[in-house]
Amino acid sequence: MNAIELKGLTKLYKKQPAINQVDLSVEKGEIYGFIGPNGAGKSTTIKTMLNFTYPDQGTATLLGLDSIKEAKEIRKRTGYVSSDVRFYPNMTTLEVLKYVAEFHQLSNSKKQIDYFIELFDIDAQKRMSELSLGNKKKIAITAGLLPAPELLVLDEPTNGLDPLMQHRLFEELEKHNKDGMTIFLSSHDLNEVQQHAHRAAFIREGEIITVQEVSKEKSLGKVITLIGDQIPLSVFEKLGAAILKHQGNETRLLYEGDLRAVLPLLDDASIQDFTITNPELEDQFMALYEGGTVK
């Protein structure tokens, strides 16, 4: 049984699809990346699958439960951190966390609350209205982690966090993932997905365009960097290479085919130098969003 199963999920605004026929499967125990620029449909997908807004078409199943018919049970077993963090302004941070613990009927909650207060350097006595975005996000993350849910859905969790807090967050997420927690990580930060996710789905204009393995052991093709003037780039494109960047006399290509097909082309006299490296997720992102296609 998958932790998340979306089939044909569609949400319309003013008769236009914000997300369109989204199919997506997340295995239990995965850290699953959800990649896309602002406005691509990441937050709409999350809100629709969590039944914060009704889909116009399609279904969402979380932890084997129907997102509409069994929404109450899903909320008991799922944590969610919104990209837009809002709390009652007059509550202190400690009051918010105690409320979360009481709501979920957690035993020994003081020990866990104290742990997260120290981990994320939280001022327990400040009111929510006094906090910066980053400090509000730390409270939201703590509230999401405190009940130790089976599934944790994170929408841009590091927005507003300094590098130290980002590092501590992902150490904590990795620890919970090893204990069996499934983590759905929506982000436009390619580096954090590259470092921590097992797989990642790319969404553009409300549609899933590809799902990629992100393990460090698995190559996503090769990046070929060419140096030279008047290089016949069209011959590389005919073989399926996508141009990632072309500036001055340097061109970077992403190629996912058999490298042996490209090697004879590198003997062209116009090529002064070249390198072939494994791509980063950013290269994949550029190929997908700047006009290239990856199947």
Domain ranges for the chain, please list them.
2-213, 222-289
Instruction: Say which CATH class 222-289 falls into.
Output: alpha beta
Q: How far apart are CA 207 and CA 39, in angstroms?
A: 12
Q: pLDDT tens for residues 179-214? A: 999 999 998 777 788 889 999 998 988 999 888 887
Q: pLDDT tens for residues 29-80? A: 999 999 888 888 999 999 999 999 999 999 999 999 999 999 999 999 999 9
pLDDT value of position 254: 86
Provide the b/e sequence for 119-139 (b: ≥16 CB within 10 Å): bbebeeeebbeebeeebbbbb
258 phi and psi, to 5 degrees?
A: -70, 120
What's 278's DSSP letter?
P
Contact between 41 and 24 under an 8 Å Cβ cutoff? The reply is no
- pLDDT greater than 80 at residue 243: yes
DSSP string, 163-207: HHHHHHHHHHHHHHHHTT-EEEEEES-HHHHHHH-SEEEEEETTE
Pull the structure tokens for residue 226. Answer: 């060419």
Q: How far apart are CA 143 and CA 51, in angstroms?
A: 19
Q: pLDDT tens for residues 89-121? A: 999 999 999 999 999 999 889 999 999 999 999
Superfamily (CATH H level) for 2-213: P-loop containing nucleotide triphosphate hydrolases (3.40.50.300)
- pLDDT greater than 70 at residue 6: yes
Q: pLDDT tens for residues 250-282? A: 999 988 888 899 999 999 999 999 999 877 666
pLDDT value of position 220: 59
